[in-house]
């Protein structure tokens, strides 16, 4: 039986603990310095106070209080301080959010949450609405399919030739994002814009091209405006799985961590 301590996070971490607790000994008890745990699970979010684990008043440098020698720290965010502490104490550090299975599974509640935001942000149906989705990664692939199924006129703006071809074969209107005129025209006719690209793709011309009344929903980890200021409302919609589907999001985290533990157990025991 492996012992796992959960530190911080939001509601989805509670559900992740419950699911993993069906198989492992999971705890959130931080009242004593036990050094009893072989694994620590940290949240996806990074606290605005760099030394503190999100959702707690526990500092990263307190981790050795709870962990065995050669323990594993599983985190959903990158933190130089956490990496340094793990290296100094001989802990393995794994970012479960970078696992491909996690990213693909997590794209589903993200896309569903984005659909809900789009519906609640307008007084018109998605049916026959002009919808633009920038990027064609995991989230975009799922979201574009949902929007098409709901009767939207879906445009997908991306760079890679192969992505443009795939988008067209799935019934979307492909927009080469490097073709400025084509991108500006797509922006000008869109009722809803979803950005999934964590890069600066909106300059002054692109911002000015967005039509009045359009709904812009930001799904990327960093927005596409850079130093430019948009002249239209921006709905920040990051972390949707934890907000709209915490049970499902918790299961995804738990299943990803269980897979990581299973893979490690093939090599050695903690």
119, 198: one domain? yes
Q: What is the band of 1 on the pLDDT scale with cuts at 50, 70, 90?
A: very low
Q: What is the pLDDT of residue 270?
A: 42
Domain of residue 204, CATH code: 3.40.50.720
71, 191: one domain? no
pLDDT tens digit sequence for 35-69: 789 999 999 998 877 799 999 999 999 999 999 99
- DSSP secondary structure letters along 13-46: HHHHHHHHTTTSEEE---SS----EEEEE--SS-
16 part of a folded domain:
yes
Q: What percent of the chain has pLDDT over 90?
A: 87
21, 108: one domain? no
47, 140: one domain? no
11, 128: one domain? no
Q: What is the pLDDT of residue 189?
A: 97
15 part of a folded domain:
yes
270 part of a folded domain:
no
188, 254: one domain? no
91, 196: one domain? no
pLDDT tens digit sequence for 113-162: 999 999 999 999 999 999 999 999 999 999 999 999 999 999 999 999 99
d(CA 144, CA 107): 12
160, 211: one domain? yes
254 part of a folded domain:
yes
Q: What is the pLDDT of residue 83?
A: 95
Q: What is the pLDDT of residue 35?
A: 78
Give residue for tokens 């984005």. 114
Mean pLDDT of all residues belonging to the chain: 93
d(CA 267, CA 91): 16
How many domains does the chain fold into?
2
Check whether 75 has a pLDDT greater than 50: yes
> CB neighbours (10 Å) of residue 263?
9
Using only C-alpha atoms, the chain has a radius of gyration, in whole angstroms, of 21
What's the sign of the alpha-carbon dihedral 37, 33, 40, 88? negative
206 part of a folded domain:
yes
Q: What is the pLDDT of residue 92?
A: 96
Buried b / exposed e over 33-44, threshold 16 CB at 10 Å, is eeeebbbbbbbb
88 part of a folded domain:
yes
Cβ proximity of 252 and 106 under 8 Å: yes
Domain around 192: 102-238
51, 69: one domain? yes
Q: Which residues contact 59 (CB under 8 A, 6 or more apart)?
A: 51, 52, 53
Q: What is the pLDDT of residue 222?
A: 80
208 part of a folded domain:
yes
3-class secondary structure, 129: coil
165, 224: one domain? yes
Q: What is the band of 267 on the pLDDT scale with cuts at 50, 70, 90?
A: low
90, 150: one domain? no
Q: What is the band of 269 on the pLDDT scale with cuts at 50, 70, 90?
A: very low
133, 206: one domain? yes
The model's pTM is 0.88
253 part of a folded domain:
yes
């Amino acid at each position: 039986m492996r012992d796992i301590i959960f530190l911080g996070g939001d509601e989805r971490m509670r559900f992740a603990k419950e699911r993993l607790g069906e198989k492992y000994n999971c705890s959130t008890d931080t009242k004593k310095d036990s050094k009893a745990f072989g694994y620590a699970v940290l949240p996806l979010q990074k606290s605005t106070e760099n030394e503190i684990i999100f959702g707690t008043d526990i500092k990263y440098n307190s981790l050795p209080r709870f962990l065995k020698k050669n323990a594993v720290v599983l985190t959903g965010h990158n933190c130089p301080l956490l990496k340094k502490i793990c290296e100094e104490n001989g802990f393995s550090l794994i970012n479960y959010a970078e696992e491909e299975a996690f990213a693909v599974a997590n794209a589903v509640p993200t896309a569903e949450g984005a659909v809900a935001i789009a519906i609640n942000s307008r007084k018109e149906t998605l049916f026959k609405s002009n919808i633009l989705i920038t990027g064609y990664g995991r989230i975009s692939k799922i979201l574009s399919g949902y929007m098409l199924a709901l009767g939207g006129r879906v445009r997908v703006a991306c760079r890679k030739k192969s992505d443009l071809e795939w988008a067209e074969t799935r019934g979307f209107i492909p927009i080469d994002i490097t073709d400025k005129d084509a991108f500006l025209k797509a922006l000008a006719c869109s009722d809803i814009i979803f950005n999934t690209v964590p890069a600066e793709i909106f300059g002054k011309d692109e911002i000015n091209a967005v039509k009045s009344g359009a709904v812009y929903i930001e799904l990327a980890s960093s927005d596409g405006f850079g130093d430019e200021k948009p002249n239209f409302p921006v709905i920040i919609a990051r972390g949707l799985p934890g907000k709209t589907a915490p049970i499902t999001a918790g299961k995804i985290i738990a299943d990803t961590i269980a897979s990581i533990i299973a893979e490690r157990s093939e090599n050695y025991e903690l």
